[in-house]
Amino acid sequence: MSDVVMSFARTGKLRSIGIGMRFDEVIALLGPADGSTGGDDAIYAFEDLQLGFSANRMLWLIQVEPRGEVLVLPTVLGGEMIRKTTDRSSFLQDLRSDGYDVERCEPFAKGELWWKVLRSGVLVRFGDNGLLETMQLARRSVATTRCG
């Protein structure tokens, strides 16, 4: 797994992108989005990265979701095409060996297994093949808070 992905699991930040940033700050770093859902709680896509912004334009969701055999991130985040070759057990072992506790949970639907990195709050889901499916960090409280 790439350093940027492991760093996100550990810290909840994707390089300089973190929860609570303003929309204009993120766009200044990443440039225009590939697309968006529109509306008050819009989700913006940047390659395989989705960012959710509240009605008051605060970042409350960071989600990495590979669309195929590789994970593609924007250039400013490394511009990497990362092959999804690290299996679940290696990923979890790497975190645990670095002192990061991880627990299984079902945060969204009964029977849908995710792993939560306790220190960062990042949720990670693997497919039946053991490869990364989704990583995300969401803080809805940020969506309703007006920050500087």
In a domain, 84, yes or no: yes
**Domain that includes residue 27, residue range:** 3-142
In a domain, 61, yes or no: yes
In a domain, 147, yes or no: no
CA nearest 125: which of 147, 143, 107? 107
In a domain, 148, yes or no: no
Q: What percent of the chain has pLDDT over 90?
A: 62
What pLDDT shows up at residue 69? 76
Whether 80 and 71 have beta carbons less than 8 Å apart is answered as yes
Instruction: Indicate the pLDDT class of residue 84, thresholds 50, 70 and 90.
Output: low
Per-residue pLDDT of 109-133, as tens digits, reads 999 999 999 999 999 999 888 888 9
Q: How many CA atoms lie within 13 A of 50 on its CB side?
A: 18
In a domain, 127, yes or no: yes
Cα–Cα distance for residue pair 74/59, rounded to 1 Å:
17
Instruction: Indicate the pLDDT class of residue 83, thresholds 50, 70 and 90.
Output: low
pLDDT exceeds 90 at position 40: no
What pLDDT shows up at residue 145? 41
Quote the number of domains for the chain. 1
∠ CA 13-19-25, nearest 5°, is 95
pTM score = 0.89
> Which residues are CB-neighbours of 72 under 8 A, at least 6 positions away?
47, 48, 66, 80, 81, 82
Mean pLDDT of 23-45: 92
Mean pLDDT of 43-72: 91
